C-alpha cells in the first residue's frame, strides 16, 4: 500500500468526480491526464459510478482511479470489482475500514475531529480524509492535528480551490488535496474537455507555486566575488559576506569561485520538493544524489533542498521548500 500513497502525494490533487453518464468517462479521463492530474475519485453518488470507474481505467490504464462517497461494504465491493484502486469515505465507517484492511485495499476514511482520528489510528489507518475541509477549519486545523497526531497525513476535500491549494500543498502532513472545481457537473455534461484540461493545468501550477528565490552567480575567486558584489552595491543592494558566497540583498548570491552550473544557479522555491520532483521527472529533470538537505532526520523527513541534474540557460537549479 505504501507505493499508492506515494502516488497520491506525487499527483497532489485528486479530482473528485460525480458523473451521471458513463459514456463521458473516457473523455474525462483523457482530459484529466492531459491536464497533469492522472487520478480520479469517482463518487458513488450516481448510479453509474462503477461503470465510470471501469471506463476511465480502460481509457487511461496508468491512471489512479478509485471510489469516493463509499458508505457501506457493498459499495466498496462493487467499486473494487470495477477496478477501483482505493476507497474514500466521507466519514468513518468501521465496517468499511475493516473490509478494506482485510482485502488489502487502500482506504482513506473521512474524519473531522480527534475522536475519529483516534478510532482510525486504532485500526492502523493513518491516511485520512478531512471533510468538509474548509468548513472544519481548512489547513489551520490540519496544522493543529499535526501536534497530537504526527503519524497521520490528510487529504482535505471540500472548499479546496486553485486560490488556496498552494497553502494546503505546503503542509507536510497533507498527503494530497481532493477537489471538484476542475470537474464541475456543467463542464462534464457540456463535454468541455479542453476547459477541464486547462483548469487542471492551472491547479497544478498553483499547487507547486514555483518561484525564484535568488540567483547565484559564479566568479573566479573571492576577490572577483567582492568586485561583483561591490558593483551591485552601487544599485543599493546590501552586501553580506558569508563563508562561500556574498549576498547582494536576498535576491543575488555571488559565489566565491566556480559553483554549480555553467554560469551559476537559481534557487527555486516550491511547496513540496518530493511532489515537484515527480512532476519535473516527466520533463527530464532528476535530483542530484548527495545534494539533499532534509527538514529533519535524513530519509525520514521531507526534503528541504536538492539540486537538479539539468541546467536552464546555463544555470543549475536547486529546489528549496518554501
Secondary structure element (H or E) that encloses residue 303, with its range: strand 303-307
DSSP letter at 90 equals S
* 163 tagged catalytic: no
What are the angstrom distances between the C-alpha of 2 and each of 6, 7, 85, 123, 284? Answer: 6, 9, 13, 16, 25
**Using CA atoms, how far apart are residues 249 and 231, in angstroms rounded to an integer?**
12
Q: Which triple of cell numbers denotes residue 108?
A: 482513506
Distance of CA 137 to the CA centre of its chain: 20
Q: For residue 83, give the nearest of 124, 55, 116, 111 by alpha carbon.
A: 55
Q: Is the dihedral of CA 31, 34, 35, 39 positive or negative?
A: positive
Supply 202's cell numbers: 492551472
Q: Is 129 a catalytic residue?
A: yes
Q: Which three cell numbers stand for residue 203?
A: 491547479
Strand order through the sheet with 153-156: 110-111, 127-130, 153-156
Distance CA 121, CA 32 (A): 32
Sign for the CA dihedral angle at 45, 46, 50, 56 comes to negative
DSSP secondary-structure letter at 287? B
Cell of 74: 457493498
Chain center to CA of 203 = 10
Q: Which of 24, 85, 129, 256 is catalytic?
A: 129
Contacts of 296 (CB under 8 A, 6+ apart): 302
**CA 178, CA 12: separation in Å to the nearest integer?**
9
Q: Which listed residue (41, 54, 60, 134) is catalytic?
A: 41
What count of residues does the chain have? 322
- What is the SS3 assignment for 124? coil
The catalytic residues are: 41, 129
Amino acid at each position: 500500500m505504501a507505493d499508492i500513497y506515494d502516488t497520491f502525494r506525487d499527483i497532489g490533487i485528486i479530482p473528485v468526480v460525480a458523473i451521471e453518464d458513463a459514456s463521458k468517462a473516457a473523455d474525462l479521463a483523457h482530459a484529466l491526464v492531459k491536464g497533469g492530474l492522472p487520478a480520479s475519485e469517482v463518487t458513488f453518488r450516481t448510479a453509474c459510478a462503477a461503470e465510470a470507474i471501469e471506463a476511465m481505467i480502460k481509457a487511461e490504464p496508468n491512471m489512479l482511479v478509485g471510489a469516493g462517497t463509499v458508505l457501506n461494504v457493498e459499495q466498496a465491493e462493487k467499486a473494487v470489482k470495477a477496478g477501483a484502486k482505493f476507497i474514500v469515505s466521507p466519514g468513518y465507517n468501521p465496517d468499511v475500514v475493516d473490509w478494506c484492511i482485510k482485502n488489502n485495499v487502500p482506504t482513506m476514511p473521512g474524519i473531522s475531529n480527534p475522536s475519529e482520528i483516534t478510532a482510525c489510528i486504532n485500526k492502523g489507518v493513518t491516511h485520512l480524509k478531512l471533510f468538509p475541509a474548509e468548513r472544519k477549519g481548512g489547513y489551520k486545523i490540519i496544522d493543529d492535528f499535526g501536534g497530537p497526531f504526527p503519524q497521520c497525513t490528510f487529504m482535505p476535500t471540500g472548499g479546496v480551490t486553485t486560490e488556496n491549494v498552494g497553502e494546503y500543498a505546503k503542509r507536510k502532513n497533507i498527503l494530497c488535496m481532493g477537489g471538484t472545481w476542475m470537474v464541475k457537473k456543467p463542464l462534464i455534461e457540456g463535454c468541455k474537455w479542453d476547459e477541464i484540461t486547462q483548469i487542471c493545468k492551472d491547479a497544478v501550477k498553483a499547487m507547486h507555486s514555483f518561484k525564484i528565490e535568488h540567483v547565484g552567480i559564479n566568479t573566479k575567486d573571492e576577490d572577483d566575488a567582492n568586485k561583483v558584489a561591490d558593483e551591485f552595491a552601487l544599485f543599493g543592494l546590501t552586501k553580506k559576506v558569508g563563508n562561500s558566497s556574498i549576498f547582494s540583498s536576498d535576491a543575488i548570491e555571488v559565489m566565491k569561485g566556480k559553483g554549480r552550473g555553467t554560469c551559476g544557479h537559481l534557487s527555486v522555491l516550491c511547496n513540496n520538493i518530493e511532489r515537484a520532483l515527480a512532476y519535473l521527472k516527466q520533463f527530464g529533470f532528476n535530483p542530484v544524489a548527495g545534494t539533499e538537505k532534509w527538514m529533519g532526520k535524513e530519509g525520514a523527513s521531507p526534503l528541504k533542498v536538492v539540486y537538479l541534474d539539468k541546467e536552464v540557460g546555463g544555470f543549475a537549479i536547486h529546489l528549496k521548500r518554501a
